């Protein structure tokens, strides 16, 4: 028996299908790394097969683009967003924890709360979107099949049902979410493809679009591309919820399969939505109701299935990730309790968005704001990861969770102000440049003729600022080369995990396939 295997408790595994996962954001020992690269790809592909994601693909048509312009905007945008997603997925197997805690290597073990806040922001938004659109599909499908009412009362009931299903899957944890996606990904993907084939005789590739939202082609096209980029990019903070269960030797392959899964899922889902929207009588109308009305009556049954199960798959990923991070911020709050808390807040937003506010305007603004906040954070993590050559001291990343001080990532009281300087100013500049009417219109939005430069400028500024720090003062920007041991305990906490070098020997890719 190796030293690594000897360190693993003899009790049953902590992460099993149907059993509540007991791990939070603490280090995952090698003996509990029970996932494979293929599974990470399936998870991130299956997560896109829901109306909450698909609806984003309708936005380029709603903005006024024609079919081929929407096709190019979605394709290029998805590719750009995936470029920022992929490298982050290689971090988790090396740190043994999720993206937010891993970011402590560069933002500081206290400064990583920036990542936790980013995760909460994204998770609440996408969970609300998944439940909202899933509920619409169930109600609209029931109306088409059986003539059932489709008012606010029926929507409220559907939201509650989908929310309850989603919460149950997320509460159980990682293994159950993975298995659910293995079943849902092919099922929902095939159902969506059948819908595409049914409408093929009515499709006109020459669809020219309508009035441009931003008054001209290029400003509107760039906004559409940036919106598409936001979808794969938004999964970066969640990538290591699943990659942390990969063996260290599978890190690179896991990043590739996760990238392939997220690109294929995002591209297919959004292109299908753009395709259907070109055939709506009113492209600016509600996407889900328009899709149900435009397909044969019998196809309402598959649409109800997509609404129920697709919303569950996407919502569970969002809730699971946010539960992990909330429990890590509030030490006494367990993952299960944190997940329940976030689900209540998110459901409240669902009801407000569907029954009170103009939800589609909120979705557009949400994606723009997501890009501005998340992209610089991902840029810093990727550059830092490359600078340290993927080498981490996992036990020192757990200092905050163990309520201790010191270690390689303590920097200045637990904060790395150089990384914060490379994140916050670009975010603020991006917000000033944002142009997503009518909700999010920055005072500098017309500086480039109405082109939304928020995502591009915030990412580029972060790259330049952090890159300059790396070149001019690497010893201050990066973690201590000789990691000092965890310092004095402020409050007694759980024992830190053993060093990566002692417990996580690199396995070959052949061993983990």
Q: Is residue 143 part of a domain?
A: yes
Phi/psi of residue 487, each to 5°? Answer: -80, -160
- Is residue 387 situated within a structural domain? no
Helix 217-234 × helix 359-387 angle, to 10°: 60
Tens of pLDDT, residue by residue, the chain (513 residues):
333 333 333 334 456 665 666 677 889 999 889 899 999 998 899 888 888 888 899 999 999 999 999 999 999 999 999 999 999 999 999 999 999 999 999 999 999 999 988 888 888 888 888 888 888 899 999 999 999 998 888 988 998 888 888 887 777 666 667 777 777 778 888 989 999 999 999 999 999 999 999 999 999 999 999 999 999 999 999 999 999 999 999 999 999 999 999 999 999 999 999 999 999 988 888 899 999 999 999 999 998 988 887 766 677 777 777 777 777 677 666 777 777 777 787 777 777 766 555 556 677 788 888 999 999 999 999 999 999 999 999 999 999 888 889 999 999 999 999 999 999 999 999 999 998 887 788 999 889 888 889 999 999 999 999 999 999 999 999 987 533 333 333 333 333 444 443 333 434 444 444
Q: Could you tell me if 126 and 119 are in contact, meaning their C-beta atoms sit under 8 angstroms apart?
A: no
Closest to 23 (Cα-Cα) out of 98, 94, 93, 91: 98
Please give the pLDDT value at position 255. 95
Nearest alpha carbon to residue 316 among 46, 88, 40: 46
User: How many structural domains is the chain composed of?
Assistant: 1
Whole-number pLDDT of residue 207:
96
Would you say residue 13 lies in a domain?
A: no
On whether residue 449 sits in a domain, the answer given is no
Count Cβ atoms within 10 A of the Cβ of residue 202 and give its class: 0-12 exposed, 13-18 middle, 19 or more buried.
Answer: exposed
261-284: buried (b, 16+ CB within 10 Å) or exposed (e) per residue? bbbbbbbbbbbbbbbbbbbbeebb
Structural domain range at position 233: 23-359
CATH code, domain with 98 = 1.10.4160.10
For 214-244, the DSSP string reads TSSHHHHHHHHHHHHHHHHHHTGGGHHHHHT
Determine the pLDDT at residue 452. 86
How confident is the model at residue 225, as a pLDDT? 96
- Spatial distance between the Cα atoms of 420 and 477, rounded to a whole number of angstroms: 10
Alpha helix segments (H runs only) across 236-355:
239-243, 251-277, 287-294, 300-305, 311-329, 335-355
Cross-strand partners of 406: 486
- Residue 357 CA, chain-centre distance (Å), reads 24
Assigned token pair, 352: 């407000």
- Do 192 and 33 touch, CB atoms closer than 8 A? no
Asked if residue 501 is part of any domain, the answer here is no
Is residue 190 assigned to a domain?
Answer: yes
User: What pTM was estimated for this model as a whole?
Assistant: 0.84
**pLDDT confidence of residue 28:** 92
Distances in Å between the Cα of 498 and the Cα atoms of 1, 95, 105, 399, 457 are: 17, 12, 17, 13, 41
Helices 152-172, 174-198: crossing angle, 10 deg rounding: 140
The token pair at 402 is: 């163990």
* Burial status of residue 122 (CB atoms within 10 A of its CB: 0-12, 13-18, 19 or more): buried
Quote the pLDDT of residue 457.
95
Categorise residue 9: left if φ over 0, alpha if ψ from -120 to 50, beta otherwise.
Answer: beta
| Residue 52 belongs to some domain of the structure | yes
Q: Could you tell me if residue 292 is inside a domain?
A: yes
């Amino acid at each position: 028996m190796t030293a690594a295997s000897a360190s693993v408790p003899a009790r049953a595994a902590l992460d099993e299908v149907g059993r509540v996962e007991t791990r939070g954001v603490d280090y995952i020992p090698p003996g509990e790394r029970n996932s494979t690269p293929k599974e990470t790809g399936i998870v991130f592909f299956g997560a896109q097969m829901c109306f909450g994601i698909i609806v984003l693909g309708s936005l380029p048509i709603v903005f006024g683009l024609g079919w081929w312009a929407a096709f190019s905007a979605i394709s290029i945008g998805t590719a750009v967003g995936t470029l920022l997603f992929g490298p982050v997925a290689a971090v988790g197997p090396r740190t043994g924890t999720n993206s937010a805690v891993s970011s402590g290597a560069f933002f500081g073990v206290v400064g990583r709360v920036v990542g936790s806040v980013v995760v909460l922001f994204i998770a609440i938004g996408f969970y609300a979107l998944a439940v909202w659109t899933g509920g619409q599909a169930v109600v609209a499908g029931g109306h088409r099949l059986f003539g059932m009412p489709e008012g606010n009362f029926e929507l409220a009931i559907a939201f509650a049902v989908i929310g309850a299903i989603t919460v149950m899957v997320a509460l159980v944890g990682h293994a159950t979410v993975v298995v659910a996606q293995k079943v849902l990904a092919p099922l929902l993907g095939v159902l969506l493809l059948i819908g595409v084939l049914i409408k093929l005789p009515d499709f006109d590739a020459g669809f020219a679009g309508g009035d441009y939202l931003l008054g001209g082609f290029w400003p509107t096209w760039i906004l559409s591309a940036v919106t598409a980029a936001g979808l794969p990019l938004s999964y970066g903070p969640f990538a290591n919820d699943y990659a942390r269960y990969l063996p260290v030797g599978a890190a690179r392959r896991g990043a590739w399969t996760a990238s392939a899964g997220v690109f294929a899922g995002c591209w297919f889902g959004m292109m299908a939505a753009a395709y259907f929207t070109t055939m709506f009588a009113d492209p600016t109308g509600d996407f889900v109701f328009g899709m149900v009305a435009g397909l044969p009556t019998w196809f309402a049954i598959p649409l109800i299935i997509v609404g129920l199960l697709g919303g569950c798959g996407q919502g569970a990923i969002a809730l699971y990730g946010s539960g992990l991070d909330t429990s890590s911020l509030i030490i006494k709050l367990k993952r299960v309790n944190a997940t329940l808390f976030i689900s209540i807040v998110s459901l409240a937003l669902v009801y407000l968005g569907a029954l009170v506010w103009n939800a589609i305007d909120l979705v557009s603004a949400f994606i723009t704001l997501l890009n501005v906040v998340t992209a610089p954070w991902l840029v810093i993590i990727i550059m830092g990861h490359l600078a340290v050559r993927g080498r981490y001291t996992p036990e020192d990343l757990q200092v905050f969770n163990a309520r201790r001080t010191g270690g390689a990532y303590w920097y200045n009281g637990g904060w790395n102000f150089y990384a914060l300087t490379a994140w916050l100013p670009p975010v603020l500049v991006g917000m000033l440049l944002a142009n997503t009417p009518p909700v999010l219109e920055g005072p500098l939005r017309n500086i480039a003729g109405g082109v939304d430069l928020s995502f591009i400028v915030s990412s580029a500024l972060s790259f330049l600022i952090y890159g300059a720090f790396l070149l001019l003062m690497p010893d201050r920007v990066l973690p201590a080369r000789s990691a000092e041991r965890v310092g004095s305990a402020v409050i007694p906490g759980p024992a830190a995990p053993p060093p990566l070098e002692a417990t996580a020997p690199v396995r070959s890719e052949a061993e983990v396939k």
